[in-house]
Amino acid sequence: MLSRNFTDSLIEKLIFACGFAAIILVSLIFFFLLREGLGFFAQYNIKEFISGHFWYPTSKPAGFGILPLIMGSLFVTLGAAVIAVPVGVMAAFYISEVAPVAVRDILKSGIELLAAIPSVVIGFIGMVTLVPLVRVIFDIPTGLSAFSGALMLAFMAMPTIVSISEDAIRSVPGTYKEGALALGATKWQTMYRIILPAAAPGILAAVMLGIGRVIGETMAVMMITGNAAAIPDTIFDPVRTMTATIAAEMGETVKGSMHYKGLFAIGLVLFVITFIINFIADSFLNRVKK
């Protein structure tokens, strides 16, 4: 039987090894993206990439302008945020401050249920129910549009926004509330005058994390936003997001070709954007913890 010290240090070495392996693996993705993405920029002007109006990757000569794709992602994300933020924050307030305890548990379970629904299922339902409805209600040429995407994606962002806002609201010190109520304010006045400003950093973090989730969404947008790689005029136009472009064109590229590297360049852009959003959200959350 090996001495206890020996097995202890053996296991600790294993832990160190796994710890490092895990960290290396996750940084590998960044380096891989960087390698292929930078390889692309070596051969294609980065300014033309970001601001070019035409994404024609298989034509000769190929066009790799991702401005329409960026605008597509932007329209869908902002549309989703405009819907999800007010609804989510208000729901968070309702659940944490107003709802009776029994109702609160039901509502929280309902929202966690929403978080569990896979994006392909939401895309499928959106495709068969929402898209035809949107076309008829708004009298637009086709329901496959940024608007339909924004609506379904708002749903997908909701659980994140609601639960993190709810955490922020609950972490506002009880003394703030009690002080206000003691001074004769109604619960509602306390909520919007005292709690909301105090919870603001946490709520902002929730919003950013929700937005980060929406930007990265792939399947649902592929099925309901129409995939037209043109800069949209209105939110009712069909759009193509960066994520859908990668998913749709991933399979057809020959390894090492410009198209292949171009998709990695888009992946790099997505990576940087979501990383920054998460970073900012994190710093807000850390402020709350303090």
Partner 1 sequence: MNPKTAQKIAFSLLFIVTLLIIVPVLLIVFIIVKEGASAISWEFLFTAPKDGMRAGGIFPAIVGTLSIVLCAIAVTLPMGVMAAIYLNEYAKDNLLTRIIKLSIVNLAGVPSVVYGLFGLAVFVMFLKMGVSIIAGALTLSIMELPVIITTSRNALNSVPQSFREASLSLGVSKWQTIRHVVLPNALPGIMTGAILSIARISGETAPILFTAAAFYVPHLPRSVFDQVMALPYHLYIISTQIPNMPANITYGTALVLLVLVLAMSLAAISMRIYFRKKKKW
Partner 2 sequence: MKIKIINIIAVCLCLLALGCSKESRDRAALAKSKSIQIKGSDTIVNLVQKWAEDFSAKDTSINIGITGGGSGTGFAALINGTCDIAMSSRSIEEAEIKQAGENKIFPVEYKVGLDGLMVIVNPKNPVGELTLAQVRDIFMGTTKNWKELGGPDKKIVMLSRESNSGTHMFFKEHVIRKGDKKNKDEFSPRALLMSSSQAIVNEVVGNPNAVGYVGIGYMSAALKAVAIAKKKGDKFISPDIDSVLSDKYPISRPLFLYASSKNNKLVNDFIEYSLSDEGQKTVRKLDFVPLRKL
Q: What is the binding site for partner 2 (CB under 8 A)?
A: 7, 11, 14, 53-59, 68, 131-132, 135, 141-144, 222-223, 226-230, 237-238, 240, 248-249, 251-255
Cβ-contact 199, 289 below 8 angstroms:
no
* Residue choice 19, 141, 179, 197 for contact with partner 1 (CB under 8 A): 19
Choose from partner 2, partner 1, none: what does 23 bind? Cβ within 5-8 Å by kind: partner 1
* Residue 155 engages partner 1 in binding (rule: CB under 8 A): yes
Q: Report the partner that residue 240 touches, choosing among partner 2, partner 1, none (CB closer than 5 to 8 A by kind).
A: partner 2
* 226 binds, options partner 2, partner 1, none, Cβ within 5 to 8 A by partner type: partner 2
**C-beta closer to partner 2: residue 125 or 228:** 228
Annotate the chain with DSSP letters as a single string: ---HHHHHHHHHHHHHHHHHHHHHHHHHHHHHHHHHHHHHHHHS-HHHHHH-S-EETTSSS-EE--HHHHHHHHHHHHHHHHHHHHHHHHHHHIIIIIS-HHHHHHHHHHHHHHHHS-HHHHHHHIIIIIHHHHHHHHT-S-S-SHHHHHHHHHHHHHHHHHHHHHHHHHTS-HHHHHHHHHTT--HHHHIIIIIHHHHHHHHHHHHHHHHHHHHT--HHHHHHSB---S--SSTTS-B--HHHHHHHHGGGPPTTSHHHHHHHHHHHHHHHHHHHHHHHHHHHHHHHH-
Site map 22..41 versus partner 1, x via CB under 8 A: xx-xxxxx--xx--x-----
- CB of 192 or CB of 234, closer to partner 1: 192
Residue in the block written with tokens 């898209």: 131
Q: Which option in partner 2, partner 1, none does residue 109 bind, with CB closer than 5 to 8 A by kind?
A: partner 1
| Contact flags string 225-264 toward partner 1, x per CB under 8 A | ------------------x--xx--xx---x-------xx
Q: Which of residues 80-99 bind partner 1 (CB under 8 A)?
A: 86-88, 90-91, 93-95, 98-99
Minimum Å distance from CB 62 to partner 1? 19
Give the end-to-end CA distance of the chain in Å, rounded to a whole number: 48
Residue 12 or 112: which CB sits closer to partner 2? 12
**Choice between 49 and 55, CB closer to partner 2:** 55
Q: What binding mask, one character per residue, do residues 182-201 give for partner 1 by CB under 8 A, x or -?
A: ---xxxxx--x---------
